[in-house]
Amino acid sequence: MNPWPYPTHIAHRGGGSLAPENTLAAMRVGFSHGYRMVEFDAKLCGDGSIILMHDATLERTTDGTGRVAARPWGEIARLDAGAWHSSAFVGEPVPRLASVARYLIANGMLCNIEIKPCPGRERETAAAIALEAQELWAGAAVPPLLSSFSERALEIAGRVAPELPRGLLLDEPAEGWLLRAARLGCKSIHLNQRHATPERITTGHQAGFRLLAYTVNDPARAAELLGAGMDGIFTDALDRIAVAR
């Protein structure tokens, strides 16, 4: 199998459920709980700046409204992305990829950048993120792992930055899942933990892929999957799933 420099425990959206997702505060919470790798969602806002955000609209995680793709960075930078979570995080801003990269590199943390394009923006989102990730992590000992549910995005990212490792995100693997990942040149496959079975881990490994599972919040399930050979788990339960030291 391909060499794999990433740890088994990955903090989902930065700090899991303990902090507002996809913020710098979340990365700090991940770090303080011993996590040395974070997953986060990245997309383009209206002027092409790369920001961290899961949804295509602003309502759920900020005090803004409307489509992310319709708002320039200047407007998004003024939003509150922490108040929805708890009073401790009021005033927390939406970060750009560049500031998150600086924090992670300075603190020796690794990351998985999930390319999460707004509808219809797969091409420009993947190209911009791959290019910027390559520049931001130039010279880093371990590159960021790129992933996406969008095969189009993975294909474009691979063309723009072929040296950055990529992972195919799947919910339930359909017929031909290993072939699709192989055609895309992916190094890993990230499965919904509900559909992660010992058989799929074995066949994935035999085909040369690393297997990761999202989102694993039950400590017993985490132990079961890691025991079955899963190479990594994404979790929201940073306070209940301890990082092996």
**Least distance to ligand G3P, CB of residue 150, Å:** 12
Q: Enumerate binding residues for ligand G3P (CB under 6 A).
A: 12, 39, 41, 54, 114, 147, 169, 190, 214, 234
Task: Between 39 and 122, name the residue whose CB sits nearer to ligand G3P.
Answer: 39
- 92 binds Mg ion, rule: CB under 5 A: no
Task: Pick what 61 binds: Mg ion, ligand G3P, none; C-beta below 5 to 8 Å, kind-dependent.
Answer: none
Is 54 considered catalytic here? Answer: yes
**Beta strands of 149-192 (E only): which ranges?**
166-170, 188-192
**Residues 102-131 close enough to bind Mg ion by CB under 5 A:** 114
Task: Kindly state the DSSP code that residue 242 receives in the 8-state scheme.
Answer: P
Which of 121, 86, 112 shows the shortest CA–CA distance to 213? 112
Is 85 considered catalytic here? Answer: no
Q: Which of 9, 12, 33, 85 is catalytic?
A: 12
Task: Between 16 and 82, name the residue whose CB sits nearer to ligand G3P.
Answer: 16
Helix (H) and strand (E) counts in the chain: 8, 9
**Least distance to Mg ion, CB of residue 107, Å:** 21
Task: Pick what 193 binds: Mg ion, ligand G3P, none; C-beta below 5 to 8 Å, kind-dependent.
Answer: none
Q: Report how far residue 232's alpha carbon sits from residue 50's, in angstroms, rounded to the nearest whole number.
A: 26
Which single residue is written with the structure tokens 């790798």?
37
Task: Between 41 and 92, name the residue whose CB sits nearer to Mg ion.
Answer: 41
Burial of 21-35, coded b for 16+ CB within 10 Å and e otherwise, reads: bbbbbbbebbbebeb
Q: Report how far residue 181's alpha carbon sits from residue 206's, in angstroms, rounded to the nearest whole number.
A: 13
**Least distance to ligand G3P, CB of residue 93, Å:** 20
Task: Between 28 and 54, name the residue whose CB sits nearer to ligand G3P.
Answer: 54
Task: Pick what 155 binds: Mg ion, ligand G3P, none; C-beta below 5 to 8 Å, kind-dependent.
Answer: none
- The site that binds Mg ion (CB under 5 A) totals a number of residues, namely 2
Q: Report how far residue 9's alpha carbon sits from residue 212's, in angstroms, rounded to the nearest whole number.
A: 10
Find the radius of gyration of the CA atoms of the chain. Answer: 17
Residue 196 tokens, joined:
């992660």
Cβ–Cβ under 8 Å, residues 234 and 222: no
Q: Which of 9, 33, 54, 85 is catalytic?
A: 54
Instruction: Tell me which residues are annotated as active site.
Output: 12, 54
Q: Which residues of the shown chain bind Mg ion in the complex (CB under 5 A)? A: 41, 114
